[in-house]
Structure 1
């Protein structure tokens, strides 16, 4: 009986033992609570600060209002798992998932591997490789070169960069005694040689034909520098020339139209000046002398009839 009880206690401890979740800086991570279902309530906390919680009775998750913004960047998946997107350095550390008053402790480790200023390096330049692991409780961080040699530091400075630095670098660290690695590929290229030439180099006297047989001769690129222009420069020149031509054509057309209109107005003005003047003629003309005589005759009173003697009876 004691063996069965002891086995049950050990099994409970193992079930309650948390996991370590590892992710890269800026990526997303989903942490499992350790249970697939719950009967009353479930909540996620980070160092005592509420991040997410849900009640089975309501079924709606509630975000915490802590001092950190991890609650704003997190959500519950399948009602038990916690997803954080994107992950920041301050998110690293312990998390507690409590399901039906049973806590499950977990830990988040955030890894950041970055070159500065870039992973594409020029031969002879300088750079720094950084490997930062947030949330580790113990252990150290070190680099492993492409040739297998290890650097006991989380920051490696390469100055100057050589061909031996090209390849895959590994950032090595340990979580609970288990080694973990993050890779970084470094590429090394040779710098482009400069093609600048002197047009008129100074030649010592007596060495004109021996030391510099090509001095005094210009290269084709130096005589025609416009051949080295980019394609977008030619496009800009062409568009600008087309705009200038269209502007000149529009100015010429407007000038001719205005000149034609002025000429038409001048012709109309001259035509109006050549027309004879028409004076107003009265409709009622004064009567002539003959008409007056006739009117006078018409207006004469008729002669009186001769008096006849009265008849007497």
Structure 2
């Protein structure tokens, strides 16, 4: 079981990479198509002077869509996340537009720093389901004015993102297994370093253990190619294959120590990826789960499955809390 500190570190590092949203492996840039249409329709009902609260905002894909589709300077958004957002795109916006969106890092949805009835609309995209729903929904309802609207997109247990996550987890486990590819890279790095001198190459030519390590690495590379061909989400396999080539080049140019330090960073990066993917799979909701969330939000909340390019992408939940 990963600790809360490990999970927060994993998400902090992810957002610091500049990813706009939590499905960066599925979509380049911001969401489009049916997902963007759902949010544009939601935002079109905002009235002048109203403010939006975006929960578990990541690097602000919803805030960005809001600024793009509603140019009314009186409509603003507060975006909160337990991790630390790093929205690089915000610096590219005109100052007057950027000022409409306020990011609040290190803020839990279960304990919001806002007054009662502050917001006309509360949103969350692939975020609220990661929280303690008993507490976060109560906070959501507290800061929402009456009448007020709620619009959510949450992970579906049978969705494409969940299937991709499960597939990638199997690859991460294979890569990190004992005597697996990462271990093999660690053993090859010193051999590459030794091969930088004529004496080293001559010694390696007589080293049966080194030859076994080379053959083992080559067999793992072939296995990687087979896995990738059969996978619905092979990206991490190709990324590690390319990273191994860079580490060998580093070993040849700067020595074993530098390359092994780089391998350590790669292992930590992959471990953090696994933590995030486990979070996604654990928090995705089946039909009973989304029904329970809907009932908790508001008795009249409406739920629907959302599809994008032929793939099931999640549940939408829309509710109005009456005055």
TM bucket (normalised to shorter chain) is under 0.3
TM-score, with normalisation over the residues of structure 2? 0.24
TM-score, with normalisation over the residues of structure 1? 0.24
Larger radius of gyration: 1
Report the structure, 1 or 2, having the larger strand content.
1
Report the structure, 1 or 2, having the larger helix content.
2
